[in-house]
Structure 1
Amino acid sequence: MRTGFGLSETAKLALLQRLSRRKGVVAPEAAPGRAFRDLPGQREMAVIREAAGHLGIESPFFRAHDGIAGAHSVIDGRDCLNFSSYDYLGLNGDGRIHRAVAEATARYGVSASASRMVSGERPVHGALEAALAAHYHQDAALAFVSGHATNVTVLGHLLGPRDLLVHDAAIHNSCLEGARLSGARRIAFAHNDAEAAERELAAARQGARRALILIEGHYSMDGDTPDLARFAAMARRHDAWLMVDEAHGLGVLGATGAGIFEHTGVDPCEVDIWMGTLSKTLCGCGGFIAGNRDLVDWLRHSAPGFVYSVGMPPALAAASTEALRILHAEPERVARLQANAALFRDALRARGFDTGASAGAAIVPLITGSSIGAARLSAALFERAINVQPILFPAVAESSARLRFFLSADHDPAELRTAAAVIASAALDAAQAA
């Protein structure tokens, strides 16, 4: 969750005033001189902690899980129904992946021990990249050690001050950081509004050297999807590249989990740059870019976040390669995931909850419209052995504060129905206590 870092002064003041008005909470004085308490955002975080303590709300963040955090997880010695894991297909505990990890570790060791360009290259890296390129019908792919760093280094390296980046307003922080690094002109369009995107692109394209349209395949905050065909056609009309961040789409969307291109019936070659992460469906850690050979070869030899970074641990490359193989071999996992997500979304809607525009594929928000309401409901559910994280202002607008449920193929449908009933009961109790 994003903290107060980077907020405008107006937004910071609004947050401080809103929290300070509750129960007499007073912001602590900033420490003088060289103290780290003077860093941007420290004051806001202190107020939030003070307010939460006054309201009796324990922080839901950084809870330690005692084992594999799948559909269930053990937290503080107690078994909880877990909705805070990206293990969409339930593969993180799969023995086949564990064996692939053990074999790679035994052969190559725990670390690549160097940049891949220098001496960190291992055959498992090439195998993973070949499998990812084939999945997206592209010439080549390149794996990075961090998903967040993938967007930062690729966008920061690909674009420059004479270029244009038109992106969805709900795009991930990593993309915004990459755009800022590049110095390109950055224009946000209203979430999932292709018409607004084209207006912005048409108005600004003529003065730019290169242009890139940036969207996500499956938006992690709302669980909705874009009209990929419209964005692909838009890119062609305006001589722009189209980049899709597929972090939450792979293994989730489409009949076999291939992603947004399968979900929408679009040829994946209509997308110029596919980006994704390995930490969700693919049970590893890192990110990747898939595209044509010229792009990938250029990044391999010049992207700072690749050239000057240690290579991905061989075990993680092996884990993600095996997870991708299982995804292709067992599409029934995708069917179970999608059925579970749709069931849970519809069960919440039937009880009067606002689940926004969720596609019911893996991510279901429960919009409370109040940060304190979301925090209280999350705490009440944790007391009832349901683990779900709140998303609070300023990560989202105060009116969009929510709980965000991540579904898994391993969730039991009966437990999901029971959970919806428990959530309704907890929400009523929390409202009465407010």
Structure 2
Amino acid sequence: MNKLNKGLFGLSGKAKETLIQKALEQRSAKAAAQGDAETVRRAPAGRRREVSDDLCRFDKLPGYKELLVQKLAADELKIDNPFFRLHEGTASATSVVNGVECINFSSYNYLDLSGHPRVSEAAKDAIDRYGTSVSASRPVSGERPIQRELEQALASIHGAEDAVVFVSGHATNVTSIGYLFGPRDLVLHDALIHNSVLQGIQLSGAFRLSFPHNDWQALERLLEQRRHEFERVLIVVEGIYSMDGDHPDLPRFVDIKRRHKAFLMVDEAHSIGVMGERGYGIAEHYGIAGRDVDIWMGTLSKSMSGCGGYIAGEQALIDHLKFSAPGFLYSVGIPAPMAAASLEAIRVMEEEPQRVQQLCARSRYFLERAKERGLDTGLSAGYSVVPVLCGSSIKAVKLSNRLLERGINVQPIVYPAVEEKLARLRFFISCAHTEAQIDTTVDAIAEALQQL
């Protein structure tokens, strides 16, 4: 029960145990009615114990019990489920949710390029030429020109020698870190790093240490104390942290990695298309060279309006991943329509820099208005992601539902994704949002919070 006592919906450990017991009793009654009541058979002392039926049932997995607690807690408190809302059509500054048009803040469509006529047409043309799938891994099925064009464009954005595209952003971090590093190595990461990085470290078998969020001085102390114990060392940070909307002082991390002979990896999933005058990311924002960072990682599903992830860096890194990383070597290549969509999105972004500039202006405007109304926006620096902290999961879910009633769609982030006291609504800003939409939204948040 220890894991369940951390703070789900602010309920006490006893309350959660009661909910679990209620769920189990309901399921046992249902199983008994079907002639399949659960039994646990134990052999007499001294004899081999029979394996419990529970060990081959998915509904007995600990993680599933946690899901039951969440569902039952919501039912007991009469809270509608805010997740998996049905969107009909393209999700941009507005979206049709359950048949009603809403102001939408739950999309990564930062530059309003998903659904852009040129981007959609590029994907359609790629279907006509290449089909909907390349049907095998690229070493097996061969290359498509559009795949290499996209990788060259990504390398150019990062000032890198080359890039390689994967079919999943999450899998990009998992397979790259998991393959490049091993048990003799150390990976140091920001305390708020994405799950995909943690999964990659676990796969690698490397020793893992976290440092307090954006605290480069704490990182330096860790390296001074522990660097000598390991062979290779990797430092991982994000360009923009998707839960909080802030960013690291990247030049400090570059300096530290050089002095301590470590690799530096930057996950730019939420900063490409957002930071920098042209949307080229955190390196452009700080004016540093692409070669100053060893591993650039990004995703294609946000500003680039496609799907997948990529790594950019020196040629040796990219060749190594393309020929040996399991997540590339044994996985199907990115479909041509997705590659074409992302490549065209990059071209539009470069030709229309006003999209990046307007995104930054709208993001700052949202942050300023939210602060004026006394909302707690946490660490947000006003780059595309602005959280509004609520103090509890229950309050975050209720606030999300209240806003939907007023024609505003935004998702809550609740425990265990964040600490219970840091539950929040997370607003993703688009260059397509208007100041009027932002004013309406911020006023609605403040009013709903007062009512709650």
TM-score, normalization by structure 1: 0.95
Residue of structure 2 in register with 1:163 after alignment: 185
Give the conservation status (yes or no) of the 8 Å contact 1:370–1:401.
Answer: yes
1:12 partnered with 2:4: yes
Of 244, 261, 264 in structure 2, the residue corresponding to residue 242 of structure 1 is 264
Counterpart of 2:6, as a letter, is A
C-alpha separation in 1, matches of 2:135 and 2:205:
32
Q: CA deviation at 1:269?
A: 1.4
**Structure 2 vs 1, CA of residues 126 and 19 (structure 1 numbering), >3 Å: closer, same or farther?**
same
C-alpha separation in 1, matches of 2:183 and 2:247:
30
Instruction: For 1:17-416, list aligned pairs within 5 A.
Output: 18-19=10-11, 26-27=19-20, 28-29=23-24, 32=38, 33=53, 34-416=56-438
Counterpart of 2:172, as a letter, is T
C-alpha separation in 2, matches of 1:410 and 1:244:
27
Give the conservation status (yes or no) of the 8 Å contact 2:8–2:416.
Answer: no
Task: Tell me the percent identity.
Answer: 52
C-alpha separation in 1, matches of 2:142 and 2:438:
45
C-alpha separation in 1, matches of 2:351 and 2:295:
25
Q: CA deviation at 1:341?
A: 0.9
**Structure 2 vs 1, CA of residues 234 and 417 (structure 1 numbering), >3 Å: closer, same or farther?**
same
Give the conservation status (yes or no) of the 8 Å contact 2:269–2:297.
Answer: yes
Runs of 5+ unmatched residues, structure 2 = 29-37, 39-52
Give the conservation status (yes or no) of the 8 Å contact 1:150–1:287.
Answer: yes
Provide the alpha-carbon RMSD of the alignment: 1.5
C-alpha separation in 1, matches of 2:402 and 2:222:
44
Deviations 1:34-81 (A, max 9, x none): 321111311111111111112121111111200001110001110011
C-alpha separation in 2, matches of 1:264 and 1:45:
43
C-alpha separation in 2, matches of 1:379 and 1:120:
48
C-alpha separation in 2, matches of 1:120 and 1:113:
10
Give the conservation status (yes or no) of the 8 Å contact 2:227–2:233.
Answer: yes
Q: CA deviation at 1:13?
A: 2.4
Give the conservation status (yes or no) of the 8 Å contact 1:212–1:243.
Answer: yes
Deviations 1:180-220 (A, max 9, x none): 00000000000111111111122111011100100000000
The count of corresponding residues between Structure 1 and Structure 2 is: 422
DSSP 3-state at the match of 2:19: coil
Q: CA deviation at 1:24?
A: 10
C-alpha separation in 2, matches of 1:419 and 1:133:
38
Q: CA deviation at 1:286?
A: 0.2
Counterpart of 1:122, as a letter, is R
C-alpha separation in 2, matches of 1:375 and 1:219:
22
Give the conservation status (yes or no) of the 8 Å contact 1:19–1:47.
Answer: no
Give the conservation status (yes or no) of the 8 Å contact 2:123–2:337.
Answer: yes
Q: CA deviation at 1:123?
A: 0.7
Give the conservation status (yes or no) of the 8 Å contact 2:185–2:232.
Answer: yes
Deviations 1:119-144 (A, max 9, x none): 14211100000000011111100000
Largest Rg, 1 or 2: 2
Q: CA deviation at 1:25?
A: 6.1
Give the conservation status (yes or no) of the 8 Å contact 2:244–2:387.
Answer: yes
C-alpha separation in 1, matches of 2:279 and 2:3:
39
Give the conservation status (yes or no) of the 8 Å contact 2:9–2:394.
Answer: no
C-alpha separation in 2, matches of 1:427 and 1:120:
55
C-alpha separation in 2, matches of 1:146 and 1:26:
36
Q: CA deviation at 1:10?
A: 3.0
C-alpha separation in 2, matches of 1:229 and 1:428:
42
Q: CA deviation at 1:23?
A: 11
DSSP 3-state at the match of 1:117: helix
C-alpha separation in 2, matches of 1:50 and 1:35:
20
**Structure 2 vs 1, CA of residues 24 and 293 (structure 1 numbering), >3 Å: closer, same or farther?**
closer
Give the conservation status (yes or no) of the 8 Å contact 1:25–1:54.
Answer: no
Q: CA deviation at 1:11?
A: 3.5
